[in-house]
Amino acid sequence: MNFLVYSLIAMPVLFLSYRISLSRILIFTALAGIFILIRDISEFPYEAIVFVFFINAVPFIAEASRREMDRYKADMRSDFEVVKKSYEDLVSQDKREMESNLEREKRMQQVLSLYEISKDMSGCLSLEDIFSIFSATLKKSFRFSLSKFILLKDSKEMEAVYEIKMGTQTIKAAPDAFDKELVKIVLNTKKTVSICRQDGHEFLRRLSVIKDFETLVAIPLFSEKELAGILYVENMPRRHFENFIILTGQFVIQFQKVSLYKKVQEMSIKDSLTEIGTRRYFLERFSEETRRSMRHKANLSFLMLDLDYFKQKNDKFGHLVGDVVLKEVAAILKASLREIDIIGRYGGEEFAIVLTETGRDGARQVAERIRESIESTIFKAYDEVVSTTVSIGISVFPDDGGDVESLIESADKALYKAKETGRNRVC
């Protein structure tokens, strides 16, 4: 019977020791002990005292156990936080490594892409071809509203403006007020102009009054230390500026190469003084035009021109004056001809002209017009005033010859006749 009573008291004590505070369970055990002592002290003094001691010790044992458990939990929680932090650090480091690898891979792809673009452009020898590759890459790799390539002549005049827009073909456009103002700025600074509206810029006010924009990057293109062009882009995200400048750098290198090639080519086909074709280039074009006339059974006229008494005037006034006369005579000849006609400097004071699809009557009219223009022109050079006349010989394909050599020979004979019969005439 006592065992059952003690068990019924001990079980709640054990249960409550882990559920309520120590002070409350001690009140409960004190009351339970008093009850046991009153009930059993006379009959079972030893068992009653041991049980009372037991039920009063249980809360302390439970409290100690609970505190030990709390410390264990706290240690476990602390260890868990350390492990968690280590794990998060590893995840963060792994993420950074992945981002770094992706960035390196992205940069590698950009380098490879730039290499491919550079390789493609390096195989081109015309400005149109390299600009076509550049504009295609620009539209494919960047976001922007408008880009323009301004080609300059003599570092000042705008020779041509090419316009690039997303989703449209590259077109040749007329320069606007914005282009003109930007050219003035770049001519003054001679360096890359990078403008972001939110940051402000010394040139922002000058340009924004003409056109509203958020960002602008304008890069000067130099050829032999002379400003030859300007490439600019509007409303490109700022984070793309660096890559755009790198891409443009590749274009600049190829642009300089093409400009140099063009200059060398012009030197080989154009006379440096008169800026008309050299004798070699003229004869090549003459041969091509003769073959074309032969295929199409069309007329062709050849004019051989020689300035009268030029050697004597050269000796009298000097070679510098003579050079001015030659240069201005060449300008008169170019102004007197059509774009389809061919002109070249044949010798010292000799010029040659091919009039395509022109018979003898038409050739004579052109020759007379040239002769009269030169005769009526007063040449002013280095405080000297000089006038001159010209003798012209004409030959016509196929009447006077079926090839270049025979046409030249026939025109040379006609020129000799003009000289012998008084000069300043057409034969």
pLDDT at 254: 83
Classify domain 127-268 at the CATH class level.
Answer: alpha beta
Are 33 and 55 contacting, i.e. CB atoms less than 8 angstroms apart?
Answer: yes
Share of residues in the chain with pLDDT > 70 (%): 97
pLDDT at 42: 67
Across 256-376, the runs of DSSP E, i.e. the strands, are: 300-307, 342-345, 350-356
Backbone angles phi, psi at 399, to 5 degrees: -60, -45
Among 184, 188, 204, 192, smallest CA distance to 246 is for 192
Q: Are strands 193-196 and 215-223 parallel, antiparallel or unpaired?
A: antiparallel
pLDDT in tens, 1-19: 566 766 777 777 777 777 7
pLDDT at 47: 75
Reading the block at residue 2, the tokens are 């006592």
Q: What is the mean pLDDT of residues 223-246?
A: 84
pLDDT in tens, 256-279: 888 887 777 767 788 888 989 999
Q: What is the mean pLDDT of residues 187-209?
A: 81
pLDDT in tens, 302-342: 999 999 999 998 888 888 889 999 999 999 999 999 999 99
pLDDT at 416: 93
pLDDT at 197: 80
Q: What is the mean pLDDT of residues 361-381?
A: 93
Q: At what angle do helices 319-336 and 310-317 cross, to 10 degrees?
A: 140
Does 408 have pLDDT greater than 90? yes
Does 89 have pLDDT greater than 80? yes
Whole-angstrom Cα distance, residue 193 to residue 203? 9
Q: What is the mean pLDDT of residues 135-149?
A: 85
pLDDT at 341: 94
pLDDT at 372: 94
Residue 219 class from Cβ within 10 Å (0-12 exposed, 13-18 middle, 19+ buried)? buried
Whole-angstrom Cα distance, residue 260 to residue 277? 19
Across 324-414, the runs of DSSP E, i.e. the strands, are: 342-345, 350-356, 379-381, 384-386, 390-397
Cβ-based neighbours of 236, under 8 Å, separated by 6 or more: 142, 143, 144, 215, 217, 244
Partner residues linked to 171 by β-bridges = 163
pLDDT at 406: 94
pLDDT at 99: 86
Q: At what angle do helices 241-269 and 127-141 cross, to 10 degrees?
A: 170
pLDDT at 248: 83
- State the chain's mean pLDDT as an integer: 85
Q: What is the mean pLDDT of residues 142-162?
A: 84
Share of residues in the chain with pLDDT > 90 (%): 29
CATH superfamily of 279-420: Reverse transcriptase/Diguanylate cyclase domain (3.30.70.270)
What are the structural domain ranges in the chain?
1-122, 127-268, 279-420
Considering only 120-124, 211-215, 270-274, 332-336, which range has the smallest mean pLDDT?
A: 120-124
pLDDT at 2: 65
Does 115 have pLDDT greater than 80? no
Q: Which residue has the higher pLDDT, 426 or 47?
A: 426
Instruction: Write the DSSP string, 176-240.
Output: -HHHHHHHHHHHHH-S-EEEETTT--TTHHHHHTT---SEEEEEEEEETTEEEEEEEEES--GGG
